[in-house]
Amino acid sequence: MTDDQPPGPTGAADAVLPAEAVVDLDAVAANTSVLRERAGGADVMAVVKADGYGHGLVPSALAALSGGATWLGVAHLAEGLALRAAGVTAPVLAWLVVPGQDLTAAVAADVDVSASAPWAVEALAAAARRTGCAARVHLKVDTGLSRGGATADDWPDLVRAAATAQADGSLEVVGLWSHLASADDPAQDGLTRRQVERLAEAAEVAARSGVRPPLRHLANSAGVLAHPATHLDLVRPGVAVYGVSPAPGRASAAGLGLVPAMTLRARLALVKHVGAGEGVSYGHTHTTAAPTRLALVPLGYGDGLPRHASGGGPVQVRGRRYAVAGRVCMDQVVLDLGDDDAARAVRAGDEVEVFGTGAGGGPTAQDWADAAGTIAYEVVTRIGARVPRRYVGALADQGVPAAAR
């Protein structure tokens, strides 16, 4: 039997959507200014890779710049070029290139590129000769993450290649940098200290080859918030810009003065009565214990909700939290509301909150991460393109995202 009550919203002027991600650009700006304060004298490079961790590349970038960031960081060249195409003139660093990739557009657009090996330096110098502008490079040293960056053994060769290209004017070495492995984990603070020392040692080696760039940078969000020794000249916070704690074991977002910028909302597509003993969703991993109401939320793993949060992901309905009943499907999840007065008040069309700021006891991306055994970074970043973004806040009213999209 379907819900016999008429659905909630009728005749709304705004388009009624099954789901949307509301992004508060003022929160992005405010979080950036908190990070800037925490970074002491260091400049802030707001990391906006992966579509601004799912929040929108250009709107996030503009909001972060208005909050005091002076640099933007991205993984891919295409992300840096998209910022330039949107009219962003702030310095941009892109750190993930592969051999054979055409770097000409990046050099022409004044996008700084990271080099972890001599081939990257040579490719940048070649692109510089083609465009007639010097390429701006940040040399990356591996100080302990064992991901990007030259090892201490390979570092002298990288520095020598850069010194040669710099001498002939095709290259400008702007920075020396590295990335932290475990700054979120208090049990590994010794490693963070060693990474600071290894970057300093790499800078000495570079200086002996005459490479003395103006910038050294190391800190991610957790470095900014927990390790002042990592701040150096420039910090590269990502997840904290969006109001998500990089280290929930150290401090919550609220405890850090950060406001989660993304709120994921949906409208219930259906509310219906079912009896006791009914299996719910694929595989019947949930069974109704008593006569109850089931509510259908039009979001699933196709929208980025983690399937690992089956049976656990929280959704706020009329001020009450319910865990997803049974499996997360591609497009939908089911809530088992029970049959009390609160459940009986729930209507198809009601707006529900999947995650947001946590105000009023609502669920957060961190709660979804906990339910899925992952990190909140992944939860917000994977909210997919099928979910429309709506930008709010004074910055949005000033047309920031309009310029951006």
Ligand X SMILES: *Cc1c(COP(=O)(O)O)cnc(C)c1O
Task: Tell me the window of 231-239, 275-283, 300-308, 339-347 that interacts with ligand X (CB under 6 A).
Answer: 231-239
Token digits for 404?
């951006």
Strands (E), 123-170: 135-140
67 binds ligand X (CB under 6 A): no
Task: Please give the Cα distance from 39 to 97 (Å, whole number).
Answer: 28
Binding mask 80-109 for ligand X (x = CB under 6 A): ---------------x--------------
Q: How many CB atoms lie within 10 A of CB 72?
A: 29
Q: Among candidates 225, 230, 217, which has minimal Cα distance to 243? A: 225
237 binds ligand X (CB under 6 A): yes
Find the catalytic residue in 49, 242, 301, 377: 49
SS3 7: coil
Q: How many CB atoms lie within 10 A of CB 353?
A: 21
Task: Tell me the window of 84-92, 237-245, 307-315, 353-361 that interacts with ligand X (CB under 6 A).
Answer: 237-245
Nearer to ligand X by Cβ, of 143 and 281: the residue is 143
Nearer to ligand X by Cβ, of 18 and 246: the residue is 246
SS3 357: coil
334 binds ligand X (CB under 6 A): no
Q: Is 76 exposed, middle or buried (0-12, 13-18, 19+ CB in 10 A)?
A: middle
Does the annotation count 140 as an active-site position? no
In the list 60, 220, 310, 316, the residue contacting ligand X (rule: CB under 6 A) is 220
Find the catalytic residue in 140, 282, 301, 391: 282
Nearer to ligand X by Cβ, of 134 and 235: the residue is 235
Task: Please give the Cα distance from 394 to 401 (Å, whole number).
Answer: 11
In the list 47, 64, 253, 365, the residue contacting ligand X (rule: CB under 6 A) is 47
Binding-site residue total for ligand X (CB under 6 A)? 12
Nearer to ligand X by Cβ, of 177 and 301: the residue is 177
Residue 147 assigned ligand-binding role: yes
In the list 80, 238, 243, 363, the residue contacting ligand X (rule: CB under 6 A) is 238
For residue 274, give the DSSP letter. Answer: E
Residue 130 assigned ligand-binding role: no
Nearer to ligand X by Cβ, of 238 and 358: the residue is 238
Cβ contacts of 342 within 8 Å, gap of 6 or more? 318, 320
Task: Please give the Cα distance from 162 to 172 (Å, whole number).
Answer: 8
179 binds ligand X (CB under 6 A): yes
Does the annotation count 272 as an active-site position? no
Give me the helix-helix angle, 155-167 and 189-208, nearest 10°: 40
366 binds ligand X (CB under 6 A): no
Nearer to ligand X by Cβ, of 198 and 286: the residue is 198
Task: Please give the Cα distance from 248 to 239 (Å, whole number).
Answer: 12
Task: For the chain, state the CA radius of gyration.
Answer: 24
Token digits for 133?
């502008």
In the list 61, 161, 239, 400, the residue contacting ligand X (rule: CB under 6 A) is 239
Task: Tell me the window of 103-111, 239-247, 337-345, 390-398 that interacts with ligand X (CB under 6 A).
Answer: 239-247
Token digits for 308?
């690992």
Q: Among candidates 174, 171, 148, which has minimal Cα distance to 45? A: 174
Minimum Å distance from CB 358 to ligand X? Answer: 19
Q: Let me know: does 137 contact 170? Beta carbons within 8 Å.
A: no
Phi-psi region at 284: left, alpha or beta (left = phi > 0; alpha = psi -120 to 50):
left
Instruction: Tell which positions 244-263 bind ligand X, by CB under 6 A.
Output: 246
Task: Tell me the window of 117-125, 164-172, 232-240, 385-393 that interacts with ligand X (CB under 6 A).
Answer: 232-240
In the list 227, 236, 267, 293, the residue contacting ligand X (rule: CB under 6 A) is 236
Residues annotated within the binding site for substrate are 147, 330
Q: Which residues here bind ligand X, judged by CB under 6 A?
A: 47, 49, 95, 179, 220-221, 236-240, 246
- Catalytic residue set: 49, 282
